């Protein structure tokens, strides 16, 4: 039986609650002899600050580096609002992304038929939606320098951020998108603004060149990022894989995500380069949502985003695509039965708790194995 080392960082707020439901599923797979998951646990965010005075300890950084994959719940909350900027809970997550060079952020937007009416778009536009947004995560406007506010001495100030991309950064994110498309419907839409940005001109050139050299079998189209935003709400099912930079990806992934309803449903993956020795990628899997302090500790959190993130881990880190499919089918089965946590309740007469939803997904999985 293959064995995988998972480093689990439940974090703050609802993080530990939704993570507990994933641990049950991992334990089930281990008990069934399907795959062995060795779970080590660490602290991140406010939990790490309370224990060690930092948002992630050096020891936990080492363990994260050594793991086959990292699962993270969520970080943050009002309890740590007064903490110095460098020690704030989010810094732990940013450090993991930066130090492990997790440059590719994958956010699927899948519309489960049972939830199609929860979208703000008409059912026919999103029923059956299955797209993937690939966002560059470690470069671009959020990291380029100079990044500063200068006092101009005349009562005015100037704020500057720098959008900067080098060829290798565009190539490696492009490669992730093309490789993903090959396993899906074989189409990539690359988004930039080459009409007004030099980084956009380079982005387009590099993607076209990479496509020609290595991925000519994949359909490639280009959209200006603003037009892509419009198309996402106009006709989202035209997309298979969208690849874009850090800034546009930040905006477009939130638009794509909300096509499908609640934050509690949305998984994500952040991937690094493939290690030549092990063949594994550095990878961190986490729900899109935050620590939801308003519902933490009340048993109201929807664990599906976290469970879906574990599914992505099985698919993208461990090559266990069939097992990931079973998790997605189990989630669809539970939703089709009408079981809902409060966030996706809509007009349903009642809702179930975090633990009940986790158990329902586990039972549906058990029935399928």
Residues 84-123 that bind ligand NAD (CB under 6 A): 90, 93
Residues 305-334 that bind ligand NAD (CB under 6 A): 305
Contact yes or no for 119/126 (Cβ under 8 A)? yes
User: At closest approach, how far in Å is the CB of 218 from ligand NAD?
Assistant: 30
Asked if 165 is an active-site residue, the reply is no
From the list 92, 247, 343, 360, which residue makes contact with ligand NAD (rule: CB under 6 A)? 343
290 binds ligand NAD (CB under 6 A): yes
Measured from the CB atom, the residue of 251 and 263 that comes closer to ligand NAD is: 263
Q: Which of 130, 161, 209, 254 is catalytic?
A: 254
Contact yes or no for 201/232 (Cβ under 8 A)? no
Find, among 115, 242, 99, the residue nearest to 180 by Cα: 242
Measured from the CB atom, the residue of 188 and 301 that comes closer to ligand NAD is: 301
Asked if 65 is an active-site residue, the reply is no
Asked if 226 is an active-site residue, the reply is yes
Label residue 46 left, alpha or beta by phi (over 0 means left) and psi (-120 to 50 means alpha). alpha
Transcribe 171-228 into DSSP letters.
HHHHHHHHHHHHTTTSEEEEEE-TTT-HHHHHHHHHHHHHHHHH-TTSEEEEEEHHHH
What are the percentages of helix, strand and coil residues in the chain, rounded to 5? 45, 20, 30
d(CA 155, CA 173): 42
Contact yes or no for 313/269 (Cβ under 8 A)? yes
From the list 247, 292, 323, 334, which residue makes contact with ligand NAD (rule: CB under 6 A)? 292
Asked if 117 is an active-site residue, the reply is no
Measured from the CB atom, the residue of 264 and 311 that comes closer to ligand NAD is: 264
From the list 48, 116, 295, 331, which residue makes contact with ligand NAD (rule: CB under 6 A)? 295
Asked if 217 is an active-site residue, the reply is no
From the list 135, 289, 315, 326, which residue makes contact with ligand NAD (rule: CB under 6 A)? 289
Interface residues with ligand NAD (CB under 6 A) are 14, 18, 74-77, 90, 93, 263-264, 286, 289-295, 301-302, 305, 343
User: Where in the sequence numbering do the catalytic residues fall?
Assistant: 142, 193, 226, 250, 254
């Amino acid at each position: 039986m293959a064995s995988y080392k998972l480093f689990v960082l439940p974090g703050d707020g609802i993080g530990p609650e939704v993570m507990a439901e994933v641990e049950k599923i991992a334990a089930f797979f281990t008990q069934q002899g399907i795959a062995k998951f060795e779970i080590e646990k660490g602290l991140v965010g406010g939990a790490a600050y309370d224990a060690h005075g930092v948002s992630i300890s050096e020891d936990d950084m080492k363990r994260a580096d050594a793991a086959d994959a990292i699962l993270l719940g969520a970080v943050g909350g009002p309890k740590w609002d007064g903490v110095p900027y460098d020690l704030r809970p989010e810094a732990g997550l940013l450090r993991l992304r930066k130090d492990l060079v997790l440059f590719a952020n994958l956010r699927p937007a899948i519309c489960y038929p049972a939830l199609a009416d929860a979208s703000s778009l008409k059912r026919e536009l999103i029923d059956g939606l299955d797209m993937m947004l690939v966002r560059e995560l470690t470069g671009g406007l959020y990291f380029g320098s100079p990044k500063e506010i200068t006092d101009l001495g005349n009562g005015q100030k100037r704020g500057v951020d720098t959008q900067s991309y080098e060829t290798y950064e565009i190539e490696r994110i492009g490669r992730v998108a093309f490789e993903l498309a090959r396993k899906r419907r074989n189409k990539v839409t690359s988004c930039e603004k080459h009409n007004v940005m030099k980084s956009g001109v380079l982005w387009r050139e590099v993607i076209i060149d990479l496509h020609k050299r290595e991925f000519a079998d994949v359909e490639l189209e280009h959209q200006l990022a603003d037009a892509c935003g419009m198309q996402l709400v106009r006709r989202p099912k035209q997309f298979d894989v969208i690849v874009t930079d850090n800034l546009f990806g930040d905006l477009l992934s939130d638009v794509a995500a909300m096509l499908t309803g609640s934050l509690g449903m949305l998984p994500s993956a952040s991937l690094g380069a493939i290690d030549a020795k092990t063949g594994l990628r550095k990878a961190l899997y986490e729900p899109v949502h935050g620590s939801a302090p308003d519902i933490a500790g009340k048993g109201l959190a929807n664990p599906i985003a976290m469970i879906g993130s574990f599914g992505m881990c099985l698919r993208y880190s461990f090559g266990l695509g069939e097992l990931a499919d079973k998790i997605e089918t189990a989630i669809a089965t539970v939703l089709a039965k009408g079981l809902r946590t409060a966030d996706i309740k809509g007009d349903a007469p009642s809702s179930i708790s975090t633990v009940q939803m986790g158990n329902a997904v586990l039972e549906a999985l058990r029935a399928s194995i």
